Structure 1
Amino acid sequence: MTELLNCPNCGSIYVKNKFREVCEACFKKEEKTFEEVYRFLRQRENRAATPQAIAERIGVEVALLYKWVRKGRLNVRQFTNLGFPCERCGDLIQAGKVCASCVTDIKKDLQSVSEDQERKKARQQSKTATYRTFFQEE
């Protein structure tokens, strides 16, 4: 099913599909910019450039560079200093959604929650029901 949306860049109306997130005019601009960035990175002395350095040199938005790296259009094996921010802490990563240290922290947090739930369950099971009876003396 197709969706009619406003372009996030220029605001014009376009039909969204799975390949494009912007209108045709903005897509063409992005492609032209991509070609410039790729030409810049193919030069030996520029292969180790950071996203900020590329943005300053070419005048492209850093978010657009992150988008291309995330989609795999700019290969991080060829351009080692490229990456995109971790969704949790913001450090540059080259794959996934979160960095290794955040994965470790999340695992620790989940383990802690799991242990707390097990302790609570064990405490509830160890409680015994107490019944009181009252005897009346005659």
Structure 2
Amino acid sequence: MNELENCPNCGKLFIRALRGVCNNCFSEVENKFKTVHNFIRRRENRMATVDEVHEATEVKKDLIYQFIREGRILLAQFPNLGFPCEKCGTFIKEGRICESCRKELRSGLDQLSKESAFQDRQKQREREKIQTYHSLEDRIKRGR
């Protein structure tokens, strides 16, 4: 269902349907995309870096990174373009984090999983140790 919201870019009210911004801001972003795309499409600019594209088109780097992340600019055709890893800032061509950060994250998750399994085993051992034994003497005292 469509909702009435304020545009995160300009603050104007708009009905949020397919886009997260108002029509004016969407048109502005599309024009910037066309500017970037037309620049890098030219043969002499296909090896341009993000900094060079930014300088030539005056489009913010974050917006260029957004175009790349959305798949609107195909990195296979432009080998010097990329975007920063969300954790360390290393330039990458796919995903959200670089391979070394991914390995570090996996290592941390594996360690956490091992610690959790160890704690579960410890709790199980504690439960096994705690057993109640009743002697005959206890039954006699209770009158059985």
Stretch of structure 1 that moved more, 76-85 or 55-64: 76-85
Relative to its length, the structure with more helix (as a share) is: 2
> Structure 1 21/81 Cα, relative in aligned 2: closer, same or farther at 3 Å?
farther
Residues 130 and 7 of structure 1: CA distance in aligned 2, closer, same or farther (over 3 Å): closer
Stretches of structure 2 lacking an aligned partner (at least 5 in a row): 133-144
The sequence identity of aligned pairs, in percent, is 39
Runs of 4+ in 1 over 6 A off after TM superposition: none
Alpha-carbon RMSD across the aligned residues, in angstroms, is 2.3
Question: 1:62-101, aligned counterparts within 5 Å?
Answer: 62-101=61-100
**How many Å apart are 1:130 and its aligned residue?**
8.0
TM value normalised by structure 1:
0.81
Q: What is the CA distance between 1:94 and its match in structure 2?
A: 2.2
Matches of 2:8 and 2:131 in 1, distance apart?
65
1:41 matched to which residue of 2? 40
Quote the residue 2:109 is aligned against: 110
Q: Give ranges in structure 1 of 5+ residues lacking alignment.
A: 132-138
Residue 9 (structure 2) aligns with: 9
Residues 3, 81 of structure 1: CA spacing in aligned structure 2 closer, same or farther, 3 A cutoff? farther
State the number of aligned residues.
133
The AA in structure 1 aligned to 2:36 is V
Higher Cα Rg, which structure: 2
